[in-house]
A and B are shown apart, each in its own frame.
Chain A
Amino acid sequence: MTNTESILEMYDIRKEFPGVLALDDVQLSLKKGEVHVLLGENGAGKSTLMKILSGAYVKDSGEIYIDGNFTEIQSPAHAQELGIGIIYQEFNLNPYLSVAENIFLGREPVYFPGVIHWEKLYNEAQAILDSLNVKINARHKVESLGVAMQQMVEVAKALSLKARILIMDEPTASLSNNEIESLFKTILHLKKQGVAIVYISHRLGEIFEIGDRVTVLRDGKYIATKPVNEITREDMIRMMVNRDLDDQIPKVKADIGETILKVENLNVNERLKEISFELYRGEILGIAGLMGSGRTRLAKTLFGAETISSGKIWIEGREVSLKSPRDAINAGIGLVTEDRKSEGLVLDLSVKQNISLPNIKKFIKAGVLNFNKENAVADEYITRLKIKTPSRNQSVVYLSGGNQQKVVLSKWLCSDTKIFIFDEPTRGIDVGAKTEIYQLMNRLTANGAAIIMISSEMPEILGMSDRILVMRDGQISGELSDLEATQEKIMNYALGESHEAAV
């Protein structure tokens, strides 16, 4: 089953989390001195696979061979011993310690236990850095280094641990072009020394420049492994997204009416750039894009929770200033946040109290809460949205994900919302409740409301949207009508980079 030139073989790797099969019989093989690109959408299973390889997760089943030997990776420390190093997007460095101290943290050379041999520490660290051909002084503090150099310190740290397999998670995400060039030089250098590199990136252009082979994952499944020089950019995108869309999504098209929201040249710091679009009554406007492309920030900005640098927003033809969520709520906007538990609900409060929260003035008469009215309205939404709860006084913490999401929806329904912003509306919700949420969206648009729906799930975006905007790097990189939209086209816009750049 093993291959002599391969350093790592992973077979039939399976990992299940409550309600999600994150990895379903996935395989991966690494050869000495290759850069192996791991490709897939958000949630395809790349991170889970790498966490298993680096010992952070334990697989449910499957087999791993290192140098042809069957191996059970038991812990991050064990993975380190086996020569597996991982460099996360977020570095694990102490900024106030020197480069050398960071490289040898916990393994400092000593005269005798407890007394550090500083000369040896600095010399050894410097030797590793020099071998990487990077100009970093081992005595300098990490905080004095730029992002690219900090990344080099991480690489040096991994090498000091004798890493033979190095996992790099989106290493170029925050680097400038020059820095990327020097990173690639270092990677080539490592290849020559026989280090195998697992390279995770969404930048397809880079893959052609640096990669040897590509393994594609989709929805936790292994799709294929191919040499980079045998496939095209289009092949890659197809493999990433080419899933069967067995149309379970009960979209009902509503009549599209006049413009309800208009955004013009919206800028937020450097995070959102020149965003312009219109939203119509009865419409579901899908917003696709990779994580970090600015989708959630756009949602928060439209809800008054981010400071707008410049740009104009009109609602029903009137220019509005959205300086706080209160402004947005009064203007008829409701935000169903990505994370219900941390941003959508006050978990200790009851179903009833959460529903009335954004618009409690409705239930106040002469300064006093009218419990009868509040109860009646809560009961009405519990019935209308079929919220499964023993009573309106139950704390929402005890409700299931789908029912919690319905409570969030009730909040905005109760506040006379005209523009609903859904950020990942069905994340962590079981299939049955998902369908109910979609049906609710249909009912909202049928009644003349408009919906902005941010989603990472292609079937959801394609199934529910009347029109799709794709975001990348804080900008709108493409717009597609529901008729022309395909998974490939969305992915193409989300990944950016023209064909020419890739060649």
Chain B
Amino acid sequence: MKQLFNHLNFDQMRQFGTFFGLLALCALFTILSPHFFTTSNLLNVAQQSAIIAVISVGMTFVIITAGIDLSVGSVLAFSGVVMASVLHAGLPIPIGIAVGMAVGFTCGLVNGMLVTYGKIPPFIATLGMMSIARGAGLWYTDGRPISGFDDSFRFLANGEIFHIPVPVIIMIVVYAAAHFVLTRTKMGRYTYAIGGNADAARLSGINIKLYLNIIYGIAGLLSALAAVMLTARLNSAQPIAGIMYELDAIAATVIGGTSLFGGKGTVIGTLIGALIIGVLRNGLNLLGVSSFIQQIVIGSVIIGAILLDTNLKNSKK
């Protein structure tokens, strides 16, 4: 075991630390509540975490480039209601989903263009988009939810394949693909390079603007995918859906070890981060802790994780 750790660098150690944190949390809730460590509850946690987890993948890419995307929750709502209106117009499910995804991707692309060509800081560009997409969704629906869908659509939330809930499968597929892209493709390598040192990346011949646009576009696309999952689960697309999701996604990413300064991070870490938040919510619910106190606990966990991170790093350097 010790030998294993000697081969790991700080970031890999960090990831193990987060993973052990998740295990410790599970152990704690198993002791405190008889209902926690059951197959159905654990699948439940995974299912509840899936939507935030999918959004967090886009967030992780963006944060690795030293950016941020505050618009993910609003983009989710807007692309969700557009998709729902297409489905209600009687068009086939794949077309509805495709339209929703296109809306999400476009919102993300606009973010990217504001950041790259407009030279606006990501915080401000996506803050603007957060308001614009939210307003667009409300305006489009007149503030009313669009409800009631075919069972074949709702299968995306309630269905199971080999006893595994479909949202969990979607989550696993998204994470596998994102992990592959980040570790084994040109785009992944460029993502780290841009966030680590944009000047050096540019002087290595990387077309920074192109890749940032793609990355913000993907963040929007994944928000739209989350919209599909949420709409299917609620059997309703709501223009007020996804409020504060950006904060959960940022929290999952940061707990997972991605640096807000860019250049570092993994989607595996983010998945663990998203699960930690999911387990906390679920466990505290089982223990009957009020949702007000839950917010305090989750906030503390975020700060604690980063405090630990920063101090460990400083003591190492």
Task: Indicate which residue in A344, A346, A357, A368 contacts B263 across the interface (CB closer than 8 Å).
Answer: A346
Interface string of B196-231 (1 = CB under 8 A from A): 110111111111000000000000000000000000
Docked-complex contact B196 and A343, CB < 8 angstroms: no
Task: Indicate which residue in A343, A347, A353, A393 contacts B203 across the interface (CB closer than 8 Å).
Answer: A343
Give chain B residues whose Cβ lies under 8 Å from the Cβ of A353: 189, 192-193
Docked-complex contact A360 and B189, CB < 8 angstroms: yes
Give chain A residues whose Cβ lies under 8 Å from the Cβ of B202: 305, 325
Docked-complex contact A364 and B186, CB < 8 angstroms: yes
* Bound CA span A345–B198, Å: 10
Measured CB to CB, the nearest residue on chain B to A345 is B200
Distance (whole angstroms) from the CB of B202 to the closest CB of chain A = 6
* Bound CA span A123–B157, Å: 77
Docked-complex contact A367 and B185, CB < 8 angstroms: yes
B9 at the interface (CB under 8 A from A): yes
* Bound CA span A324–B204, Å: 10
Measured CB to CB, the nearest residue on chain B to A339 is B199
Interface string of A321-342 (1 = CB under 8 A from B): 0001110111000010100001
Docked-complex contact B184 and A369, CB < 8 angstroms: yes
B264 at the interface (CB under 8 A from A): yes
Give chain B residues whose Cβ lies under 8 Å from the Cβ of A328: 205
Docked-complex contact A344 and B200, CB < 8 angstroms: yes
Distance (whole angstroms) from the CB of B199 to the closest CB of chain A = 5
Distance (whole angstroms) from the CB of B254 to the closest CB of chain A = 17
Give chain A residues whose Cβ lies under 8 Å from the Cβ of B207: 324, 326
* Bound CA span A346–B196, Å: 6
Interface of B is mostly: helix
Docked-complex contact B196 and A344, CB < 8 angstroms: no
Distance (whole angstroms) from the CB of B124 to the closest CB of chain A = 23
Docked-complex contact B189 and A348, CB < 8 angstroms: no
* Bound CA span A373–B189, Å: 16
Docked-complex contact A346 and B205, CB < 8 angstroms: no
A395 at the interface (CB under 8 A from B): yes
* Bound CA span A325–B206, Å: 8
Measured CB to CB, the nearest residue on chain A to B207 is A326
Q: Which of A337-383 contact B (CB under 8 A)?
A: 337, 342-349, 353, 356-358, 360-361, 364, 367-369, 371
Q: Which of A250-279 contact B (CB under 8 A)?
A: none
A303 at the interface (CB under 8 A from B): yes
Q: Which of A379-438 contact B (CB under 8 A)?
A: 393, 395, 411
**Given A360-B186, A367-B185, CB of A348 within 8 Å of CB of B205:** no
Distance (whole angstroms) from the CB of B3 to the closest CB of chain A = 15
Q: Which of B7-31 contact A (CB under 8 A)?
A: 9
* Bound CA span A175–B6, Å: 60
Docked-complex contact A325 and B204, CB < 8 angstroms: yes
Give chain A residues whose Cβ lies under 8 Å from the Cβ of B190: 360
Distance (whole angstroms) from the CB of A377 to the closest CB of chain B = 14
* Bound CA span A393–B11, Å: 12
Distance (whole angstroms) from the CB of A333 to the closest CB of chain B = 10
Distance (whole angstroms) from the CB of B238 to the closest CB of chain A = 38
Docked-complex contact A346 and B9, CB < 8 angstroms: no
**Given A303-B203, A324-B205, A358-B205, CB of A349 within 8 Å of CB of B185:** no
* Bound CA span A369–B184, Å: 5
* Bound CA span A304–B197, Å: 18
Docked-complex contact B204 and A348, CB < 8 angstroms: no
Measured CB to CB, the nearest residue on chain B to A394 is B9
Docked-complex contact B196 and A369, CB < 8 angstroms: no
Docked-complex contact A368 and B185, CB < 8 angstroms: yes
Give chain A residues whose Cβ lies under 8 Å from the Cβ of B185: 364, 367-369
**Given A342-B199, A349-B196, CB of A369 within 8 Å of CB of B204:** no
Interface string of B155-190 (1 = CB under 8 A from A): 000000000000000000000000000011110011
Measured CB to CB, the nearest residue on chain A to B10 is A395
* Bound CA span A343–B202, Å: 9
Give chain B residues whose Cβ lies under 8 Å from the Cβ of A395: 9
Output the residue of B197, B199, B206, B263 with the most chain A CB within 10 A: B197
* Bound CA span A349–B186, Å: 14
Docked-complex contact A342 and B203, CB < 8 angstroms: no
Distance (whole angstroms) from the CB of B119 to the closest CB of chain A = 16
Give chain A residues whose Cβ lies under 8 Å from the Cβ of B204: 325, 329, 357-358, 411
Output the residue of A326, A343, A357, A367 with the most chain B CB within 10 A: A357
* Bound CA span A395–B193, Å: 12
Give chain A residues whose Cβ lies under 8 Å from the Cβ of B200: 342-346
Interface string of B42-79 (1 = CB under 8 A from A): 00000000000000000000000000000000000000
Docked-complex contact B193 and A346, CB < 8 angstroms: yes
* Bound CA span A13–B207, Å: 49
* Bound CA span A360–B190, Å: 9
* Bound CA span A330–B196, Å: 23
Docked-complex contact B189 and A347, CB < 8 angstroms: no
Docked-complex contact A305 and B203, CB < 8 angstroms: yes
Which positions in A face B, CB cutoff 8 Å?
303, 305, 324-326, 328-330, 335, 337, 342-349, 353, 356-358, 360-361, 364, 367-369, 371, 393, 395, 411
23 A-B contacts (beta carbon < 8 Å): A324-B205, A325-B202, A326-B206, A326-B207, A328-B205, A329-B205, A343-B197, A344-B203, A346-B197, A347-B196, A347-B197, A348-B192, A349-B192, A349-B193, A349-B196, A349-B263, A358-B205, A364-B186, A367-B185, A369-B183, A369-B184, A371-B184, A393-B9
Closest 3 pairs (CB-CB, A-B): A346-B196, A326-B205, A358-B204
Given contacts A357-B189, A360-B186, list 18 more A-B pairs with CB under 8 A: A305-B203, A325-B205, A326-B206, A328-B205, A337-B203, A342-B197, A343-B199, A343-B203, A344-B203, A346-B192, A348-B264, A349-B193, A349-B196, A349-B263, A356-B189, A358-B204, A360-B189, A364-B185
